[in-house]
Amino acid sequence: MTKVRVGGFSLSADGFGAGPAQSTDHPLGERGRELHRWLAATRTVNAMVGSAGGSTGIDDGYAARMLSGCGAFILGRNMFGPVRGEWKDESWKGWWGDNPPFHRPAFILTHFARDPVVMAGGTIFHFVTDGIEAALERAKAAAGELDVGIGGGVRTVRQYLDAGLVDELHLAITPVVLGRGERMFDGLDLPGLGFRVAEHAATDFALHIVLRKEE
Q: In sequence order, which ranges of the chain are alpha helices (DSSP H)?
A: 37-40, 43-48, 58-67, 77-80, 132-143, 154-162
| 13 pLDDT more than 80 | yes
Residue 12 near residue 35 (C-beta atoms within 8 A):
yes
Taking Cα atoms as reference points, which of 102, 42, 43 lies closest to residue 71?
Answer: 102
147: domain CATH number is 3.40.430.10
Q: Is residue 53 reached through a cis peptide bond, with omega within 30 degrees of 0 on the bond before it? A: no
pTM of the full structure: 0.94
- pLDDT tens digit sequence for 40-64: 999 998 887 778 888 899 999 999 9
Question: In 52-137, which ranges are E strands?
Answer: 70-76, 105-109, 117-118, 124-128
Residue 60 near residue 54 (C-beta atoms within 8 A):
yes
Q: How many distinct structural domains can be found in the chain?
A: 1
Q: Which of 46-55, 113-122, 172-181, 188-197 has the lowest mean pLDDT?
A: 46-55
Q: Which domain holds residue 124?
A: 4-20+27-87+95-213
* 149 membership: H or E segment, kind and range: strand 147-152
- pLDDT tens digit sequence for 58-85: 999 999 999 899 999 999 999 998 888 9
Report helix, strand or coil for 118: strand
